[in-house]
Amino acid sequence: MTTTTHTRTAALALGDDALVLSHRLGEWMGHAPVLEEEVALGNIALDLLGQARILLSMAGDEDELAYLREERAFRNLQLVEQPNGDFAHTIVRQLYFSTYQHLLYGRLAATEGPFAGLAAKAVKEVAYHRDHAEQWTLRLGDGTEESHGRTQVACTALWRFTGEMFRPVDGLGLDPAELEPAWLESVRGVLKRAGLAVPEGPRTGAWSAGAGREGLHTESFGRMLAEMQHLHRSHPGASW
Amino acid sequence: MVTLTPLEAELLEIAGSVLDPELPVVTLRELGVLRAVHVRAADAVEVELTPTYTGCPAVEAMSLDIERALHAHGVREVTVRTVLSPAWSTDDISAEGRRKLREFGIAPPRVRAASEPVGVTLGPTRTLAPEPTADPGGAALEPIRCPHCGSTDTELLSRFSSTACKALRRCLDCREPFDHFKEL
């Protein structure tokens, strides 16, 4: 493999993470619990979409990659494709992912590699995503019995998708495993402050079968892609 | 800083006087997003533009407005290129740009102290979460002032507002809600 191919592989992994999570957050439009959160989730989705456009353009044609690939060709983490569930579920997914993405971009920004420029820019945006997720986790975990219960369920349900974030990505220029101690310390700290139990189950296992980075996705991802790609596939080249 | 030819300086002035499509009181020069103008050939100009946020949809409108302004000045071929490095920061907004934002009703982003944190007097706030005195990057910040009455007694309503670059706040003295251009 040439250096370019390695870079393309990593660009696809990070770009797909941003694209897929952006689409999931976009699904909240018209459904968020309050107007301010509708706006917040939409803005976070927009930041992620901007990052996805730059990353996918490093890997090829952004529109072709987003709209014309089959499920098995996507390289995103299984975590980001998980359905929104209730608001607590979305917030916990945000907490797990934005903590990881913030640490990752922070490290990439300090390298000389092909992702340094984007990472230096995006790390500042993701700092706000992480702050948003942490503040909401504290409010929900330390809120009512109902909000606490739902958030605890979400923490536990999504825990098993968090191990994949720290597996090696070809062409990235650093080993994501180096981010794991800081991620664990940060997430555990937020959960404890929110009065939530830190899940104890495994964070990866045989069920993940190599997981999203290998192109193996969970059941709901195909349905999400069908909706995301429907318009482009039905009306190729359509514009407005 | 690269030395500009008189023609490049003139074209930079024209491109720089284009107004931001979302904040039509501030020019692209004041916003600090215009990086360079290169004359590539007779009648062919390349402009370097940096986005405020990677997903900012205003970039396309800015590019079109720059092309229009330079075409009107007689430049036949205009290419606007988006550059990411070095990353734009709200510290790139000029003092004049900040003044105009305030007059427009938007609390401008605060300038980060580059050196040691400076002691600042904070007005009382009523947000449940303690008011950060530093941005997420850890740089010290002064209190946010209501752009209408100047009070520092304001509360955060939402971390994200009408655009990704702003937060929604309310003044507890004059009771007016206002946008705050977040530090980035």
Distance (Å, whole) CA A143 – CA A157: 20
Residue B170's DSSP bridge partners are B155, B177
Mean pLDDT within A97-106: 98
Residues of chain B above pLDDT 70, percent: 84
Using CB atoms within 10 A of its CB, is residue B21 exposed (0-12), middle (13-18) or buried (19+)?
middle
Within 13 Å of residue A223, how many CA atoms lie on the same side as its CB? 7
Distance (Å, whole) CA B183 – CA B91: 8
Q: How confident is the model at residue A47 (pLDDT cuts 50, 70, 90)?
A: very high
Q: Which of A40, A46, A122 sits opposite B159 (nearest CB)?
A: A40
The nearest alpha carbon in chain A to B52 belongs to: A121
Give residue-wise pLDDT tens across range A168-218: 999 999 999 999 999 999 999 999 999 999 999 888 877 666 689 999 999
* Residue B125 confidence (pLDDT) above 60: no
Task: Sketch out chain A's domains with CATH numbers.
Answer: 3-234 (1.20.1260.10)
Q: Which of A39, A54, A131 sits opposite B136 (nearest CB)?
A: A131
Radius of gyration of chain B (CA): 19
Give residue-wise pLDDT tens across range A20-34: 999 999 999 999 988
CB contact under 8 A, B57 and A54: no
Q: Taken in order A76, A77, A78, A81, is the CA torsion positive or negative? A: negative
Instruction: State how far residue A107 is from chain B, nearest Cα, in angstroms.
Output: 14
Q: Which of A47, A121, A139 to mutate to test the interface with B (most CBs of B within 10 A)?
A: A121
Close Cβ partners of B20 (under 8 Å, ≥ 6 residues apart): B26, B27, B28, B31, B58, B62
In B33-121, which ranges are continuous DSSP H helix?
58-72, 95-103
Q: Taken in order A27, A31, A36, A37, is the CA torsion positive or negative? A: negative
The nearest alpha carbon in chain B to A19 belongs to: B55
pLDDT at A61 (0 to 100): 95
Distances (CA, A) of A36 to A22, A31, A40, B53, B181: 18, 12, 6, 20, 16
Q: Does A156 touch chain B (CB under 8 A)?
A: no
* Residue B130 confidence (pLDDT) above 80: no
Within 13 Å of residue A238, how many CA atoms lie on the same side as its CB? 9
pLDDT at A211 (0 to 100): 86
Nearest to B165 by CA among B108, B95, B94: B108
Give residue-wise pLDDT tens across range B52-77: 988 888 899 999 999 999 999 999 99
Residue B45's DSSP bridge partners are B39, B78
The nearest alpha carbon in chain A to B138 belongs to: A127
Distance (Å, whole) CA A155 – CA A145: 15
Spell out which residues of chain A touch residue B130, defining contact as CB-CB under 8 Å: none
| Residue B143 DSSP one-character state | P
* Residue B129 confidence (pLDDT) above 50: no
pLDDT at B111 (0 to 100): 84
Distance (Å, whole) CA B44 – CA B68: 14
The nearest alpha carbon in chain A to B184 belongs to: A124
- Mean pLDDT, chain B, whole residue set: 84
For chain A positions 41-60, those within 8 Å of chain B (CB to CB) are: 42-44, 46-51, 53-54
Instruction: State how far residue A94 is from chain B, nearest Cα, in angstroms.
Output: 15
Spell out which residues of chain A touch residue B55, defining contact as CB-CB under 8 Å: 46-51, 53, 125
Spell out which residues of chain B touch residue A135, defining contact as CB-CB under 8 Å: 129, 159
CB contact under 8 A, A124 and B161: no
Give residue-wise pLDDT tens across range B75-103: 999 999 999 888 999 999 999 999 999 99
CB contact under 8 A, A125 and B57: no
Mean pLDDT within B136-165: 83
Distance (Å, whole) CA A150 – CA A145: 9
The nearest alpha carbon in chain B to A136 belongs to: B129
CB contact under 8 A, B53 and A118: no
In chain A, which ranges are continuous DSSP H helix?
3-26, 35-59, 62-67, 78-81, 87-109, 116-141, 145-159, 180-193, 219-234
The nearest alpha carbon in chain A to B86 belongs to: A117
Q: Which of B54, B168, B182 sits opposite A122 (nearest CB)?
A: B54
Please check whether residue A111 is in contact with residue A173, taking contact to mean a CB–CB distance below 8 angstroms. yes
Q: How confident is the model at residue B113 (pLDDT cuts 50, 70, 90)?
A: low
User: How many helices (H) and strands (E) are present in chain B, helices listed first?
Assistant: 4, 7
For chain A positions 11-30, those within 8 Å of chain B (CB to CB) are: none
Mean pLDDT within A20-49: 94
Please check whether residue B152 is in contact with residue B169, taking contact to mean a CB–CB distance below 8 angstroms. no
Q: Which of A36, A46, A117 sits opposite B158 (nearest CB)?
A: A36
Determine the distance from the C-alpha atom of residue A6 to the mean position of all C-alpha atoms in its chain, rounded to a whole number: 21
Amino acid at A181: P
CB contact under 8 A, B160 and A39: yes
A32 Ramachandran zone, left/alpha/beta (phi>0; psi -120 to 50): beta
Task: Sketch out chain B's domains with CATH numbers.
Answer: 6-82 (3.30.300.130), 93-184 (no CATH)
Distance (Å, whole) CA A142 – CA A147: 8
The nearest alpha carbon in chain A to B164 belongs to: A43
| Residue B152 DSSP one-character state | S
Distances (CA, A) of A104 to A91, A215, B146: 19, 21, 36
Using DSSP bridges, classify how beta strands B177-181 and B106-107 pair: parallel, antiparallel or unpaired.
parallel
Q: What is the pTM of this model?
A: 0.87
pLDDT at B42 (0 to 100): 80
Give residue-wise pLDDT tens across range A162-174: 999 999 999 999 9
Distance (Å, whole) CA B37 – CA B48: 6
